[in-house]
Chain A
């Protein structure tokens, strides 16, 4: 069999549902390694760093993976991370990123919500987002969102929201077409 064309290797990478597999495939051969920068999406499942014993912080590992990609369009992170980590990732991909999905999981952590900048505030850097999905959101004060002019879909699953905060957040999403709020409480 002839070897797989580079474009195909990139397609296979893009179908992977776990960034860990992408990292492993980076080590398969030189051609596979050279395809890595061209993938479009990265997923970090919830258990990504469950067995992690190394010295690198998970935030740094995600940053390293993202930094090796030229034009990341979709980022999904279900594993735990900090607001500092998120800010550093979005600095790298703010112009290319179109889809972002994050498990914030800060419902119980009031402290993490009032810290500044909060994870929600950090998302503002991804100005070209077309869809944003957030899990486990505590939004008691307005996130510092400038504008997401291209955002069409906003999904919030499992949240405690204060109405004024949500209203302020939605004002940044002037072209929103789909809004989904699931399991949200507050008023």
Chain B
């Protein structure tokens, strides 16, 4: 408990101990090239590509490759998935659960139904669990209290029941059809 500490000295020391990080001189990050099924090229930072478990294991198996072909993935959903992962990297560096939640909510809110539905198999194929959870919750919310027909057109699913089969199923779950939005 010494009261002899000289405050100007302390200030100087503090300044010396915490040099400003110079982001300009940070070492250049490695880029990884992803190629979509429609032959579009995406250059992403290694840290972003490593968010894709599928790409990560591809690199672990063949480290010398410079381009990762993604035969099941088209450009549009891929670009949206990359956008999401870039943000998640930032949250990894500076954890802020509230901001992350807000970002994730906004990310899905501004997407069309089709964008969401198209991203799901991509997130699944690339094994991005966080995004998959966000997307599954978003589509579950959008089909809440909707009709069977609405859900089919939402996901682009063909009805493969016969008329009799469908009628029997609807009878079996008759309670669920009381008071459903038809639009």
Interface residues of A (CB under 8 A from B): 1-5, 7-8, 11-21, 23-30, 32-33, 49-54, 56, 58, 61, 64
Given the complex, which residues of A lie within 8 Å of B133, measured CB to CB? 11
Q: Are B120 and A8 in contact (CB under 8 A)?
A: yes
Q: Are A29 and B137 in contact (CB under 8 A)?
A: no
How many residue pairs between the two chains, A and B, have CB atoms under 8 Å in the bound complex? 101
Name the CB-closest residue of B to A2.
Answer: B121
Q: Are B143 and A5 in contact (CB under 8 A)?
A: no
Given the complex, which residues of B lie within 8 Å of A64, measured CB to CB? 172
Partner of B173, one of A5, A12, A27, A51: A27
Q: Flag B139-156 by CB within 8 Å of A: 1 or 0 each.
A: 111011111100110011
Given the complex, which residues of B lie within 8 Å of A30, measured CB to CB? 160-161
Name the CB-closest residue of B to A14.
Answer: B136
Q: Are B155 and A4 in contact (CB under 8 A)?
A: yes
- Once the chains are docked, how many angstroms separate the CA of A20 from the CA of B175? 8
Q: Are A2 and B72 in contact (CB under 8 A)?
A: yes
Given the complex, which residues of A lie within 8 Å of B166, measured CB to CB? 27
Partner of A29, one of B118, B159, B173, B178: B159
Say yes or no for B169: interface residue by CB 8 A criterion. Answer: yes
Say yes or no for B108: interface residue by CB 8 A criterion. Answer: no
A-B contact list, 29 entries, CB within 8 Å? A1-B121, A4-B121, A5-B121, A8-B121, A8-B136, A16-B140, A16-B144, A21-B144, A24-B146, A24-B151, A24-B177, A26-B173, A27-B161, A27-B170, A28-B155, A29-B159, A30-B160, A30-B161, A33-B169, A49-B175, A51-B178, A52-B178, A53-B178, A54-B174, A56-B174, A56-B175, A58-B175, A61-B175, A64-B172
Say yes or no for B28: interface residue by CB 8 A criterion. Answer: no
Q: Are B176 and A15 in contact (CB under 8 A)?
A: no
